Amino acid sequence: MVGTSVPNPVLEKHESALLILLGFGGFSIILALIHNAIRKHIFHDENNLDTTFDAGGDVSTSLTAVTVASQLFWPADILQSATITTKIGIAGPFWYSVSVILNIFIFPIFSVHFKTRAPGAKTYLQIIYARFGKKAHIVFCCFALLTNMVIMTALLLAGKSTIQSLTKNISDEFTLLMMATLFGSYSLIGGIGTTFYVSYFNVCLIFVSLTVFFVNVLHNSDSDYDNIGDATRMFNVLSCVKGPEENTGSSFLTFRSGVGILYGVIGFFVASAVTYCDQASWQSRIAAKPMQGVWGFFLAGFMWLAIPSTMATTTGMAYLAISSENNTHLLTSDLIDQGLVTPFIAEKILGPTGGILTLTILSMALMSTGSGEVMAISSIIVYDIFQTYIRPFRHNLKNAYCILCGKRIPAPDLDSPAPKEQDTPTSNTSMCACKAVSDCQQCAEDLCRRALKKTHGVQSPYMCTVHGPYRTYQRYLIDFKNWCIVWVTICIIPYGLTVFAIGIDLNWIFYVGAIVTIPCFPAVILSIVWVKATSQGLITGGITGLLIGVAVMLGVASTYEGGLSKFLLNTSQDYSILAGTCCSFGVSLITCMIVSAFTHEIKTDADADAEWKKMYDIDNPLHPWELHLREELKQQVYNKKPSYGQIAAAFRHAKFTAYIGGSICVILVTFIIPGIMATFPVLNATQFDVWVGLTQGWAIIMGIVAIIAPPVEEILKIRKQYLQNKKDVINYSL
């Protein structure tokens, strides 16, 4: 079919800039300043490097949920899910949603292991370095940065498609400048904590906009188009339109879609690649404590399910209904693959307001996901490149050795109560005897002296002989972090121009990108959950999976008409992607496990405990994870740190919840709901009306939860900390 229309730009260049830069950019900077003020005056950790990348490590359940939902709701989802709907019908958004939320429901299991086995880690690459050394760390740093580049490419293409389709005479350079400013401005000021606040407003806006869309498409008797405005009217039109042959009855109104299931399988691997291989995903999820994180994931899954399933069903089916009036697609296949169905329909049914609304949703999604990628790349550079290889505090530090003094850390004694200060061992000069920072009187004097001197514009040096040098080092890292965020943001512009010049589209990078990133997935998970994983196994598996996955994808693509001469077209064909992703993942997993099985040295339980302790020792001595988890560990008796067994006991309920809850959710969305929907070969009018009504009702319920719960929990948490601060001041004065 030949396209007969294109989306009409509704904004002038300056109007788009004002809306994006001053509107959303200015709003996000205000949120960053508010977040900084809260961390400074309530939580007193604004000068902590780790706070920049974990938001204090105590994010609430509902704020975790809206952030996970927001960051997984890429601009690509706004566009790509509707694209799939126009190709295969109502099954498209359903299987698209299932493929993504499966990863959300499985992720709590791995995140609990991450938080309990490496509670001090800020990147998953720190775990790989601690367990497997430099070679594996360098390889997977490359994989991690490659994943960030793939995701950033998808964001830039999605942003370009929508911004330029809705803005008159706007250049690529100006588009990139706006997006880079949007990504980096508030990240520099407020760190990842501001991303949580922006994500909340993003989700609120999405649910409000979603309501506007489905009301105008499905509940508008005054619609200018005869084929939309009512679910029954849309059904009557769509039931007469021929869908793909792989669908039952060649209908757009069936969940029995072979190509839909195929999209679901491909989507699962794509979502896995960007969930487990993207540092931004881990960064947002480890910012919560284990139990809050688990419940946050489950709520995020159901919250996210409501968004693309409702939006894509609404806009995608509306596009098919309107196109049927002319018996032809209103957009060319290229424009559809660029993801322009949603902005096109928004403009058709709402006029210029629809274009502005779409640009608003896109800008908020770009802010949330784009800033997360900027912070992810910056955290890898700060923690895994600069701090590890370029300027470490202590060179060649071995596992179980103190970073402050370079001496071996005594093993925790579980049978003895915490020693008094005068009992601290000092006679054995080969063992670490450094005081905990919370018990260090010199540090307390340093902080008081610096606070007083700062009021006079003078900053005194740290005098503590134990922690002072490391505090100076951390101040240097904080300054470096700021410059790192600035340069990562600036580099978006030349990188984006290169991507645009190559000519790849959103559909291509969305699927083909997964083939080169998903070999990292098995290695990341095995490093967290399997004690016998080895450096040789992970390196061999990751590289072999990458090479074979790409080779298989190219081989299958060459069988299509035109072969590799039509590279972008044939490498993004369904079976090319399916073969490539399956081989990348499968070969990587099998190779990792086989090679590790033959190269590991784990013979006893003591060997296993020693291996896990490598992850357990990742920590910041100025802000130790034990202090952060002290409330959950108050029933445990230990010296400076609890043992791994004590941590496991303290969070056993969180693990149980993750396994049981995750299993129930996976069974529900993978078998029960699809099984029920598959009982209807082709939906009749009543069934279509019920399904559309259910998606709308669920979107409204989740929208209410998303709008109300996060601010309530956040206010209660701030109030609790404020009262605790007042209590501490009173006790100190006494």
Reported as a pLDDT band with limits 50, 70 and 90, residue 244 is confident
More confident position, 49 or 464: 464
Residue by residue, DSSP assigns 281-324 as HHHHHTTS-HHHHHHHHHHHHHHHHHHHHHHHHHHHHHHHHHHH
Q: Which of 47-56, 174-183, 358-367 has the lowest mean pLDDT?
A: 47-56
Q: Please compute the mean of the pLDDT values over residues 350-378 and round it to a whole number.
A: 81
What pLDDT shows up at residue 417?
Answer: 41
Residue 457 has pLDDT above 60, yes or no: no
Q: CA–CA separation, 365 vs 74, rounded Å?
A: 6
Closest residue by Cα to residue 280 from 538, 488, 475, 26:
488
Q: CA–CA separation, 486 vs 381, rounded Å?
A: 13
Reported as a pLDDT band with limits 50, 70 and 90, residue 57 is low
Helical spans, DSSP H, in 118-230: 124-166, 172-218
Residue 81 has pLDDT above 80, yes or no: no
Residue 408 and residue 401 in contact, taking contact as beta carbons nearer than 8 Å: yes
Residue 528 and residue 110 in contact, taking contact as beta carbons nearer than 8 Å: yes
Residue 74 has pLDDT above 70, yes or no: no
Q: Which CATH class is domain 13-383+487-518+654-733?
A: mainly alpha
Per residue in 393-434, pLDDT (tens digit) is: 988 888 778 888 888 887 654 433 433 333 344 444 578 888
Helix (H, G, I), strand (E, B) or coil at 142: helix
Residue 4 has pLDDT above 80, yes or no: no
Reported as a pLDDT band with limits 50, 70 and 90, residue 346 is confident
The residue count for the chain: 734
More confident position, 674 or 362: 674
What pLDDT shows up at residue 642?
Answer: 82
Per residue in 668-684, pLDDT (tens digit) is: 988 898 888 888 888 88
How far CA 21 is from CA of 36, 178, 179, 493, in Å, comes to 21, 7, 9, 16
What pLDDT shows up at residue 426?
Answer: 41
What pLDDT shows up at residue 190?
Answer: 67
Tokens of 560: 């299509």
What pLDDT shows up at residue 5?
Answer: 59
Q: CA–CA separation, 658 vs 515, rounded Å?
A: 28
Residue 519 has pLDDT above 90, yes or no: yes
What pLDDT shows up at residue 418?
Answer: 39
What pLDDT shows up at residue 725?
Answer: 79
Q: Please compute the mean of the pLDDT values over residues 682-689 and round it to a whole number.
A: 89
Q: Please compute the mean of the pLDDT values over residues 229-239 and round it to a whole number.
A: 85
Name beta bridge partners: 401: 408
Handedness of CA 393, 394, 397, 400 (dihedral sign): negative
More confident position, 17 or 451: 17
The single-letter DSSP state of residue 420 is: P
Residue 46 has pLDDT above 70, yes or no: no
Q: Which of 86-95, 184-193, 512-521, 692-701 has the lowest mean pLDDT?
A: 184-193
Residue in the structure block whose two tokens are 């409204």: 700
Tokens of 659: 């396994």
Closest residue by Cα to residue 254 from 670, 681, 672, 688:
681
Residue 277 has pLDDT above 70, yes or no: yes
What pLDDT shows up at residue 732?
Answer: 52
What pLDDT shows up at residue 429?
Answer: 57
Q: CA–CA separation, 43 vs 31, rounded Å?
A: 17
Per residue in 132-146, pLDDT (tens digit) is: 999 999 999 999 999
Q: Mean pLDDT, the chain, as a whole number?
A: 83
Q: CA–CA separation, 107 vs 399, rounded Å?
A: 28
Q: Which of 103-107, 211-215, 223-227, 539-543 has the lowest mean pLDDT?
A: 223-227
Angle between helix 124-166 and helix 520-529 axes, rounded to 10 deg: 140
Reported as a pLDDT band with limits 50, 70 and 90, residue 120 is confident
Name beta bridge partners: 408: 401, 431
What pLDDT shows up at residue 246?
Answer: 84
Closest residue by Cα to residue 485 from 121, 52, 75:
52
Residues with Cβ < 8 Å from 502, sequence gap 6 or more? none
Residue in the structure block whose two tokens are 């809050």: 292
Percent of the chain with pLDDT over 70: 90
Tokens of 538: 């992970």
Tokens of 168: 């008159």
Angle between helix 685-733 and helix 231-238 axes, rounded to 10 deg: 130
Residue 379 and residue 125 in contact, taking contact as beta carbons nearer than 8 Å: no
Residue 454 has pLDDT above 70, yes or no: no
Cβ count within 10 A of residue 228: 25
Residue 49 has pLDDT above 80, yes or no: no
Q: CA–CA separation, 411 vs 327, rounded Å?
A: 75
The single-letter DSSP state of residue 150 is: H
More confident position, 427 or 286: 286
What pLDDT shows up at residue 227?
Answer: 80
What pLDDT shows up at residue 97?
Answer: 84
Residue 576 has pLDDT above 70, yes or no: yes
What pLDDT shows up at residue 646?
Answer: 83
Residue in the structure block whose two tokens are 């969940």: 255
Residues with Cβ < 8 Å from 725, sequence gap 6 or more? 42, 44
Residue 548 has pLDDT above 90, yes or no: yes
Q: CA–CA separation, 608 vs 593, rounded Å?
A: 17
Closest residue by Cα to residue 270 from 173, 151, 351, 183:
151
Residue 33 has pLDDT above 90, yes or no: no
Cβ count within 10 A of residue 477: 18
| Rg, Å, the chain Cα set | 27
Name beta bridge partners: 414: none
Per residue in 590-632, pLDDT (tens digit) is: 999 999 999 999 999 888 888 888 888 888 888 888 877 877 7
What pLDDT shows up at residue 416?
Answer: 38
